[in-house]
C-alpha cells in the first residue's frame, strides 16, 4: 500500500468513526449487570437505562448475568464487540475488590473503556428483627458469646458485602458464617425470612425494609450519617473504627470502543443524571452521585484498585 493509500484509508476510517458516533445508537443497547435483579447495581442500571431509552429512541436493555461477584458479566463485556452496543454497569466488586481476591479472566483496567462514574452507595449492617441485638454493641456481645452460630449473606465471594463482613469480624473480634448468593435480591429474601441473620448490603435493596421495620439497620459505612437513613449511626459512632467499604457504580465499554462513542455516552449519561427526576430516583435509593469525564473515572478506578488491594492485604482477607 502506498503512503497516499494509507493516508486515504486512515481518513476514511476517521470519517466512518465520526459518522458512527453522530448516528449512535441505531439499535438497542445492552447494559450487563453482574448480579440478580433487585440488588443495588441492578436498580441503578435500570433507572439510567429507562431514561436513556427515552432520550435515544432506542431500547436500552438491562441484562442480568449473575455470578462470580460480577465477573461473569464483566468478562462478557470485555470480550464483546467494541461498538458501544454492549456496556457494563461496573462496580467496586468487579473492578476493585474481586481482582485483589481472585484470578479473573479479564484485566480490570486494560480490558475496559471507562465511560462515566455514576456514584457510590454505603454498605449497611442490617439484621433480621428476630436477632436479639438492637445496636452494634449488643450484636458484638451476642456474636462473641456464640461464635459461628450466626451467618451473614452477601452477593458473592469477593463482593463488597463479603469484604465488609470479613472486615467487621476482624475489627470486632467475632466469628460469623459467610453465605454467598448470586446477587443481593436472593440474599435479602432469605434475610427477611430469617434464613440468614444479617448482611452488610448496599443501601438500595435494604433501605425501604429498614424504614418499614422489616430489618434493623445497625450501622452505615460512611464517615457521616446519610440523609436517606438519618437514624442509622456510622460504624465509627458504634465503636468500630476504620470501617470503610463503599460500593461504587460506573458505566464501562470494551477497551477498543471508539473515542467518539465513549464521549457521546459520557455526555448523555451525565446529562440524564443531572435531570431532577433521575437524580431524585437515584438519591432515593441511597446513591451518592458524582459526575466525571472518562479520564477522571479511569484515574478513580486505578486508585480504588490500589486502595482495596492494601485493605485486603492489611486485613489478611482471603476467599473461603
Residue 320's pLDDT band (boundaries 50, 70, 90)? low
pLDDT in the model for residue 39: 79
* 27 occurs within a structural domain: yes
pLDDT 10s digits, 230-247:
999 999 999 999 898 888
pLDDT at 304 over 90: yes
Q: Is 26 exposed, middle or buried (0-12, 13-18, 19+ CB in 10 A)?
A: exposed
CB 121 within 8 A of CB 40: yes
Q: Residue 207 belongs to what domain range?
A: 124-220
Q: In the predicted model, what is the mean pLDDT of the chain?
A: 91
Residues 154 and 97 in one domain: no
- As for how many domains the chain has, the answer is 2
Question: How far is it, in rounded angstroms, from Cα 198 to Cα 214?
Answer: 12
CATH of the domain at 190: 3.40.190.10
pLDDT in the model for residue 264: 97
Pairing assessment for the beta strands 112-122 and 246-254 based on DSSP bridges: antiparallel
pLDDT at 191 over 80: yes
pTM here is: 0.80
Residues 157 and 100 in one domain: no
More confident residue, 21 or 206: 206
CB 21 within 8 A of CB 266: no
Question: How far is it, in rounded angstroms, from Cα 245 to Cα 160?
Answer: 7
pLDDT in the model for residue 185: 86
Lowest mean pLDDT among 183-192, 213-222, 295-304: 183-192
pLDDT in the model for residue 15: 44
More confident residue, 31 or 183: 31
Amino acid at each position: 500500500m502506498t503512503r497516499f493509500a494509507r493516508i486515504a484509508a486512515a481518513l476514511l476510517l476517521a470519517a466512518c468513526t465520526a459518522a458512527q458516533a453522530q448516528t449512535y445508537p441505531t439499535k438497542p443497547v445492552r447494559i450487563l449487570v453482574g448480579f440478580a435483579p433487585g440488588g443495588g447495581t441492578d436498580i441503578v442500571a435500570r433507572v439510567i437505562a429507562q431514561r436513556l431509552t427515552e432520550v435515544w429512541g432506542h431500547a436500552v436493555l438491562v441484562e442480568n448475568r449473575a455470578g462470580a461477584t460480577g465477573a461473569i458479566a464483566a468478562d462478557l463485556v470485555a470480550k464483546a464487540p467494541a461498538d458501544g452496543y454492549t456496556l457494563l454497569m461496573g462496580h467496586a466488586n468487579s473492578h476493585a475488590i474481586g481482582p485483589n481476591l481472585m484470578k479473573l479472566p479479564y484485566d480490570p483496567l486494560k480490558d475496559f473503556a471507562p465511560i462515566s462514574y455514576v456514584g457510590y452507595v454505603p454498605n449497611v449492617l442490617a439484621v433480621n428483627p428476630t436477632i436479639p441485638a438492637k445496636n452494634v454493641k449488643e450484636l458484638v456481645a451476642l456474636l462473641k458469646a456464640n461464635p459461628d452460630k450466626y451467618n451473614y449473606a452477601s452477593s458473592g465471594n469477593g463482593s463488597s458485602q463479603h469484604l465488609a463482613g470479613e472486615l467487621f469480624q476482624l475489627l470486632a473480634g467475632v466469628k460469623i458464617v459467610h453465605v454467598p448468593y448470586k446477587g443481593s435480591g436472593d440474599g435479602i429474601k432469605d434475610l427477611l425470612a430469617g434464613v440468614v441473620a444479617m448482611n452488610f448490603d448496599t443501601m438500595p435493596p435494604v433501605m425501604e425494609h429498614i424504614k418499614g421495620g422489616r430489618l434493623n439497620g445497625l450501622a452505615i459505612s460512611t464517615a457521616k450519617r446519610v440523609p436517606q437513613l438519618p437514624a442509622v449511626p456510622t460504624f465509627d459512632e458504634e465503636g468500630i473504627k476504620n470501617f470503610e467499604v463503599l460500593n461504587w457504580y460506573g458505566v464501562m465499554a470494551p477497551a477498543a470502543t471508539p473515542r467518539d462513542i465513549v464521549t457521546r455516552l459520557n455526555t448523555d449519561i451525565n446529562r440524564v443524571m443531572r435531570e431532577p427526576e433521575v437524580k431524585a430516583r437515584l438519591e432515593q435509593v441511597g446513591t451518592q452521585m458524582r459526575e466525571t469525564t472518562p479520564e477522571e473515572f479511569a484515574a478513580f478506578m486505578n486508585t480504588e484498585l490500589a486502595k482495596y488491594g492494601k485493605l485486603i492485604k492489611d486485613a489478611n482477607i482471603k476467599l473461603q
